[in-house]
Amino acid sequence: MLTIMMYHYVRDLPRTRFPQIRGLSTDRFEGQLEYLTKHYALCSPEDLTAAVRGEGVLPPNACLLTFDDGLSDHYTTVFPRLAERRIAALFCPVVRPIRERVVLDVHMIHFVLASGRDPRRLVDEALDLVDAHRTTLPLPDRETLYRICVAPSRFDPPEVSFLKSLLQRVLPAAVRTEICRALFQRYVTVDVASFAGELYMDLPQLCSLARHGMTIAGHGNAHDWLESLGPAEQLEEIQQTMALLAAIIGRRPTGWIMSYPYGSYSRHTLDLLEQAGCRVGLTTKVGLVTDLATPLELCRLDTNDLPCAGDAPINEWTKRVLDSAEGTAVHASRA
Ligand SMILES: [Zn+2]
């Protein structure tokens, strides 16, 4: 049995400019590390890829830590705490923020939501911005948008879930990006490049992680829904992802790992990845890995599903998590 943990923001929340960002506090992260080292055999990404190749066996209570999105938090807060405990983990940066210093739509939404603006007002404002595009594009009317953007969420209230669905998935990509940017500039900052510089790791930091025994995985070029892209676009995503990995490790990646943005992929994605030498794929489907028969479709647990030291005993919480997520292919539970 392998437990793969998925992390996003890990930061000293009360002391940041956006204490409402939906992340894990440094204290809770330390508590989780204490808990994990006590109850699990922490394995490295290399251990996992070796097991997939049939060159090793994971211990029965193996656990792997994974950190999505290439956030600076992972360098400043996570890395020293892992290094101190000699834990080798997996870091999954997105290409464009590193190459172009842009803020991804998915993160713009998070910070707009953390700005303190009432989410009901944000829904109205987002819909007004949608209206501005109606003259040039055939977009669904408001009633239809209300209907199709309502997605049940384990973590978010309805307005937040509506906004994420509208601005992460339902609207055409160009419209989504423009609306995210408008709201971000209105409520967070107009200086997007500086914000990106603070939010994401840069190439030297990623190289430093790799030099210190951490593994870098792919997480796409633009953090897009791979299953919604055409074959050529998917290929481009994978090629850009591999180019970044090559820049970090100094050679063409082989036997590498892909973490699917939003947990989204199709049969075609899996074929392309196999051809590209990718050996392990991480989804956002909630669950424990019971075997490695389909290594490109491994499920994970969100950090928020894990107790701190002193919380419920391990069997109880695992059961609770799996019961609550039963039958749901949860897309990017925290995205
Ligand atoms: Zn992501």
Helix (H) or strand (E) holding 108: helix 105-113
Span from the CA of 116 to the centroid of ligand 1 (angstroms): 23
In this predicted structure, the answer to whether residue 329 has a pLDDT above a threshold of 50 is: no
Span from the CA of 258 to the centroid of ligand 1 (angstroms): 11
- pLDDT tens readout for residues 12-62: 999 999 999 989 999 999 999 999 999 899 999 999 999 999 999 999 999
Span from the CA of 94 to the centroid of ligand 1 (angstroms): 8
pLDDT value of position 127:
93
Span from the CA of 6 to the centroid of ligand 1 (angstroms): 10
In this predicted structure, the answer to whether residue 207 has a pLDDT above a threshold of 80 is: yes
Span from the CA of 74 to the centroid of ligand 1 (angstroms): 13
Span from the CA of 68 to the centroid of ligand 1 (angstroms): 5
Span from the CA of 119 to the centroid of ligand 1 (angstroms): 22
List phi, psi (to 5°) of 132. -65, -20
Name the CA dihedral angle for 300, 301, 303, 305, rounded to a multiple of 10 degrees: 170
Which residue is associated with the tokens 């983990």? 89
Span from the CA of 221 to the centroid of ligand 1 (angstroms): 11
Mean pLDDT for the chain?
91
Span from the CA of 223 to the centroid of ligand 1 (angstroms): 6
In the predicted model, what is the mean pLDDT of residues 310-317?
Answer: 59
CA distance 320 to 149: 28
**Positive or negative CA dihedral for 85, 91, 97, 103?**
negative
List phi, psi (to 5°) of 308. -85, 175
Span from the CA of 136 to the centroid of ligand 1 (angstroms): 31
Span from the CA of 135 to the centroid of ligand 1 (angstroms): 32
pLDDT value of position 55:
95
pLDDT value of position 92:
98
| Strand blocks (E) in the chain | 2-7, 10-11, 24-25, 41-42, 62-68, 90-92, 215-216, 256-259, 278-286, 298-302
CA distance 202 to 105: 18
Which residue is associated with the tokens 């990718």? 278
Which residue is associated with the tokens 């989780």? 32
In the predicted model, what is the mean pLDDT of residues 60-77?
Answer: 97
Span from the CA of 112 to the centroid of ligand 1 (angstroms): 17
Half-sphere exposure of 258 (CA within 13 A, CB side): 32
Collect residues with CB below 5 Å from ion ligand 1: 68-69, 261
Reported pTM: 0.91
Span from the CA of 229 to the centroid of ligand 1 (angstroms): 16
C-alpha distances in angstroms, 72 versus 13, 67, 95, 116, 156?
Answer: 14, 11, 14, 23, 24
Span from the CA of 309 to the centroid of ligand 1 (angstroms): 27
